[in-house]
Amino acid sequence: MPERRREEFAALRRQELKVGRAWAIKEALRRLWHYVYPASGWKFWKRWYFWATHSRLQPIRKAAETVRRHIFNILTYYQHPITNAMSEGLNSQIQKIKSMACGFRNIENFKTAIYFRCGGLDLYPC
């Protein structure tokens, strides 16, 4: 967390506002990705889940239940540290191409635009 955000976070915590507690719970969950072993990640998650479900903050409890439903899939990251970030980025670029064109006359033109923008071609002369 950047230094500026830490100061803002500390100020919120001192005020004992609900948003300060919610932010603390959210930020604590980020540490889940820093564990190396599944057992330590599981142990951390159990403590975080207890904190979140006993926070008396309904949106946080709802989010904790969502995480609970997917926790075993989340913990597989320790064995296979891969994500779908690349495909999400590519999909974002395709959606941008689609919105910039305001529609294509046919699917071939759309595919050509995708290949042109996302193909990684170097079109500059040597």
Q: How far apart are CA 99 and CA 107, in angstroms?
A: 14
| Other CB atoms within 10 Å distance of the CB of residue 110 | 16
Flag whether pLDDT at 12 surpasses 70.
Answer: no
Give the model's confidence band at 80: pLDDT under 50 very low, under 70 low, under 90 confident, else very high. Answer: confident
pTM check: above 0.85 = no
Higher-pLDDT residue of 126, 22: 22
2-to-5, 9, 52, 99, 102 alpha-carbon distances in Å: 5, 11, 24, 34, 39
Flag whether pLDDT at 75 surpasses 70.
Answer: yes
